[in-house]
Structure 1
Amino acid sequence: MTNTAQNPELRLHLNWRCDRHAPYGDRQRAVIDHTTRQKARDTISAWPGYQPTPMLELPDLAQKLGIARLRIKHESRRFTLKSFKALGGAYGVMRILERETGLGIDAIMAGDAKEQVAGVTVCCATDGNHGRAVAWGAQLAGARCVIYLHEHVSQGREDAIAAYGADIARIDGTYDDSVRQAAEDAETNGWIVVSDTSWPGYEEIPAWVKQGYTVCMGEAMEQLGDDRPSHLFVQAGVGGLACAAIGPVWEDWGAERPFCAVVEPHEADCLYQSAVQGHMANGLGSLDTVMACLSAGEASPLAWAILETGADAFITIDDHFSPDAMKTLAVSQTDPRMVVGESGCAGLAGLMAVAADPLAREAMGLGGDADVLLIASEGATDPAIYQEIVGMTPDEVGETQ
């Protein structure tokens, strides 16, 4: 059923292509499978500063939302980058350098190929977090890095990227314009694009990036053990995190996986439109959203290979749910207090939107016995924007440790 619930605040599409008993097939394994997930986990867990991010329980908020249980995987403590993106962008850089030098990643990290690595330039377009991850990975290995930012990326996010030694190129227009410019300049200059967006002829590197992202869900599945959730709400821009979360639970848990809902802003709805139209489609929104790191008008074909039949529902939400979710997590007196950025809390924002809509709740089976898992995918990656929205600095929130 299309648009089971549709109002100014929430749109819901139940995905009729999702057969929960269908096997995880070759099309999906070409993007993410056990072997590539394990390689990413083995590689990333050996990096300096690695530790699994925590999973927090929020019983008071669960009660307020009318569900039995709420758990949140908290990515704000991921290395020094405060975002799950550290897993994908940096891993993509390392796999590129492995390919270019013929050496293993351990040897590259040990400095055994400094001259070869220094001769490699990687680049990407970003709304913020992916660019930080690519710049960080390049800095770790000693490669040169150029990051493309569109006109709406904040100065705070630019400064955070530049702090990792990257050169910055500002581009007029949207995120998708910056993606195209980065690709053109890379072709001209012999650079290597590190993108989590794929296109025909460019799939290997975006697949590596997504495989890096799976470390987050791999940790979560271990933390959950046999205590599996009934629902997973996961936010999406081009779909990288969503496919890296849904792919592993589909491959490992099959029909016993949670009901998986993909959450986007109203104004950046490329996956929702793809699901509704039955094929890859551009978003119809303006791309002007407070959830800036989700502001993508074109989905990744590699992500769509998993989400097209692996996601149970696609929803879009009004922007006001994101600040509401940020404040809810920041001011709790009983649950753990959490500092989560405007894009990182989109999964919770989607849950809040559905919980407030009886028709949507019924359509998604979100009853009083629901056990929901979310991924808080970023912390305050731009502290100034965070303070403007929440009314407190991250330090004033006093996040529960």
Structure 2
Amino acid sequence: MFLRNAHSDHRRALEPADADMLALEAAADVEHHLQYRDHHAETPLVSLPGLAAATGVGAIHVKDEGQRLGLGSFKALGGAYAVIRLVLEEASVRQGRTIDMAALHSSDVRQIAESMTFACATDGNHGRSVAQGAQLVGARSAIFVHSGVSDARVRAIARFGAEMIRVEGSYDDSVQEAARVAEERNWTIVSDTSWPGYERIPGLVMQGYTALVREALRQIPAPPTHVFIQAGVGGIAAAVAGHLAIVLGDERPVFTVVDPARAACLFETARAGHPVKVPHGEPTVMAMLECYEPSRVAWRILSRAADAFLTVDEEDALSVMRRLANPVAGDPAVVSGESGGVGLAGFLKAVADPEVKAALSIGKESRVFVVNTEGATDPGRYQEIVGASPAEVLSRGAA
């Protein structure tokens, strides 16, 4: 399904609070924070000239977040960043002076962090980031996972010392349970989705994602003309779209949000013109995107900064994993998890449909940008789908 953005706010400037959250100054603060993180390195921008030629466009660039901060996902930029910011803010309040990242591991800050517990609901990647952030500062974490989260992903979170809490039902059920328990126990919720009265912390999570956009704009030969970004609750899509709108202004690219057809909460929100909750149905293989209600903050940004909305099917997601693992001649192999290549899957679906291709003005000069949002966060599942282990895929090098 394809839908142009017909909202009355389309192409308007972001609201001031959202513009501040995604501004250049805020993004610079995120990059300053990253200088103090272990395993920090800019993730690669991968060029796919073979696929570009095969699809009739000028260039395709993939920002590969599969090794971000050792966590295997772009989410490493969000949850941990929010946790650390919140600890430093609390330390600043208690000590009556501004506490910077340089003092993060001081005994005074650690003592304050030890009195704090951070909680969230997750499909896997966000919870891993929150748990890692809590461990880094000496705080506690409690991570709520729904019944669809694999045991491998639960173990990957638990290794950071998190208390793991299983919740029957969907991701949205785990969000509600996390909020309820956190209020009872005076824990701090660090969610990547927002709801009325709860926006600042999800805003910090989204702010963390701006680092990958800053890196990509430095790495890419010329700004993209078309961007396809996948969405669960919409945080990564809104962060990328909003920051590009601020940085590039009238020269910003045509931006398409890509949803799983089985959990198309942003597509249906765009169709309705206001946030809607879609009914639960059959689970999607795109587990990190299986969300049935959008983030209010993300929708507010996307209603202005997104140009179109597109859904992809289960086989689209599986096919793009295999395609990245077995690339066309001249392209490097890329390890992409079940949700990682969904933006690229959206582009491939768009360029194969003459009406959608024309609606998005995709042509031979188009420069396409997508984000591989995760690597093989469940290696066993990855091998089942692709037919090779992540290490085997990476050993292939360029095709």
TM over 0.5: yes
Return the match for 2:255 from 260, 274, 287.
260
Look up the match of 1:367.
363
Structure 2: 5+ residue stretches without partners: 93-98
Query: Helix, strand or coil: the match of 2:229?
Result: strand
Give, in angstroms, the shift of residue 31 of structure 1: 3.8
Give, in angstroms, the shift of residue 18 of structure 1: 7.4
> Aligned equivalents of 1:375 and 1:387: distance in 2?
21
Q: Is 1:249 matched with 2:244?
A: yes
Look up the match of 1:277.
272
Distance 1:287 1:190, change over 3 A: farther
Look up the match of 1:286.
281
Kept in 2, the 8 Å contact 1:21–1:254? The answer is: no
> Aligned equivalents of 2:34 and 2:234: distance in 1?
21
Look up the match of 2:389.
393
Distance 1:120 1:21, change over 3 A: closer
Q: Is 1:35 matched with 2:25?
A: yes
Look up the match of 1:181.
177
Query: Helix, strand or coil: the match of 2:377?
Result: coil
> How do residues 67-146 of structure 1 correspond to structure 2 at under 5 angstroms?
67-102=57-92, 103-146=99-142
**How many residues are paired up?**
390
Kept in 2, the 8 Å contact 1:18–1:310? The answer is: no
> How do residues 162-241 of structure 1 correspond to structure 2 at under 5 angstroms?
162-224=158-220, 227-241=222-236
Distance 1:111 1:234, change over 3 A: farther
> Aligned equivalents of 2:108 and 2:332: distance in 1?
44
Give, in angstroms, the shift of residue 74 of structure 1: 0.5
> Aligned equivalents of 1:123 and 1:214: distance in 2?
23
Give, in angstroms, the shift of residue 203 of structure 1: 1.2
> Aligned equivalents of 1:287 and 1:371: distance in 2?
35
- Same amino acid, percent of matched pairs: 42
Give 1:201's aligned amino acid: G
Query: Helix, strand or coil: the match of 2:232?
Result: coil
Query: Helix, strand or coil: the match of 1:352?
Result: helix
Look up the match of 1:378.
374
Q: Is 1:296 matched with 2:280?
A: no
Look up the match of 2:149.
153
Give, in angstroms, the shift of residue 44 of structure 1: 1.7
Distance 1:20 1:197, change over 3 A: closer
Give, in angstroms, the shift of residue 53 of structure 1: 0.5
Q: Deviations over 1:313-366 (max 9, x none)?
A: 011111110110000010125201110101011001111111221111111111
Kept in 2, the 8 Å contact 1:269–1:284? The answer is: no
Look up the match of 2:34.
44
> Aligned equivalents of 2:197 and 2:9: distance in 1?
29
Structure 1 range deviating more: 59-68 or 128-137: 59-68
Q: Is 1:13 matched with 2:3?
A: yes
> Aligned equivalents of 2:223 and 2:150: distance in 1?
38
> How do residues 316-335 of structure 1 correspond to structure 2 at under 5 angstroms?
316-332=311-327, 333-335=329-331
Kept in 1, the 8 Å contact 2:11–2:305? The answer is: no
